[in-house]
Homo-oligomer: A and B are copies of this chain.
């Protein structure tokens, strides 16, 4: 299935249009037509962006007849949050280590 690798996730949300699509899906599942209405890019462009988001694991697809309903993928969001959390923790650790080292050095 999806990678859920930070590299792919951040790159996917790095594009403004893609992030706008992503944010619109917060309100609930939406079809491609509804999404492209209100966006200043063509419908094929939206399709391409959705493919990127789906491959990244940020979005899920449910086909209802001809309508393709896209919605947020919880795992994608949590994966990014986890990444930032781990990063943050690691930063705190090395910050503490540096502080203690400085203490010893001053003694």
Contacts and interface: CB of A to CB of B under 8 A. Distances in A.
Contacts of A19: 6-7, 10
Interface stretch (A33-41, A42-50, A60-68, A79-87): A79-87
Interface of A: 6-7, 10-11, 13-16, 19, 23, 26-28, 72, 74, 77-78, 80-81, 84-85, 87-88, 90-91, 94-95, 98
Q: Is the interface of A mostly helix, strand, loop or mixed?
A: helix
A87 B26 contact: yes
A94 B24 CA distance: 11
B6 A87 contact: no
Looking at A13, A74, A85, which has the most chain B CB atoms within 10 Å of its CB? Answer: A13
Nearest to A86: B26
Nearest to A101: B28
A84 B84 contact: yes
